[in-house]
Amino acid sequence: MELIRIYKGKLVSAKDLYEFLEIKTEYSHWIKRTLISRFNEGEDFTSFLTKSTGGRPSKEYLLKLDTAKKLAMMAKTEKGDQARAYFIECEKTLEALVNNKRLEVFMKLEATKGRLLQNIQNIGGTEADYIQIDYKGCKVFFNSEPLPDEELPLILLKGRDFATEMTNEQFKDEDLGLEDVERLNTRHHQKVREMLIENVRKAPESFKPEENIKKLKE
């Protein structure tokens, strides 16, 4: 459960923390007394101006997780202890994500697919063309209705990435039309499927889906 929103997995709004801790001191005084006087801007936190409707711009502060944890400790309240424990768990989750090879390969596949979309658009295709081409490749890979990429085990993510990357590679040296791309992408997924069956002795559809990788990112 998200007690306090964490931006980009590592930043916390000082205002969000202030409101969660239910600080009685005025916000601007709390910032000066507990943040600016004790921590270093650029190292422990960053600040920026935001536009407000009909008023002067206000200054916002984004805290690093470790800084947010220290401010929570300084509150010396039950809310502070709750926030600190929450930030510790978030740090553990972040560390686990950094070391998660499945997530790393999933993100690589997303980037490879993004390049395929761009290559297709560069020859006059649309996002709908890309979806069709990618889906047909997936369907051949599984010899049936495919699993979503976010549920694929590591080896199938790598297989999908390899097949799609081979399709991207052929854009470099060949003048391709949409039908050519669909044919090549289908063939590449078929080849990777055959390679898996030959070397791992399992077809892609024999693998069980794993936990949705997107949930691990949240």
Could you tell me if residue 22 is left (phi over 0), alpha (psi between -120 and 50 degrees) or otherwise beta? left
- pLDDT of 81-127, one tens digit each? 999 998 888 887 777 655 668 888 999 999 999 999 999 999 999 99
Q: Is the pTM of this model over 0.85?
A: no
* E strands, the chain, in order: 6-7, 11-13, 45-50, 58-64
- pLDDT of 128-138, one tens digit each? 999 999 999 99
Task: Map out the domains of the chain as residue ranges.
Answer: 6-98, 101-217
The answer to whether 141 and 203 are in contact (CB under 8 A) is no
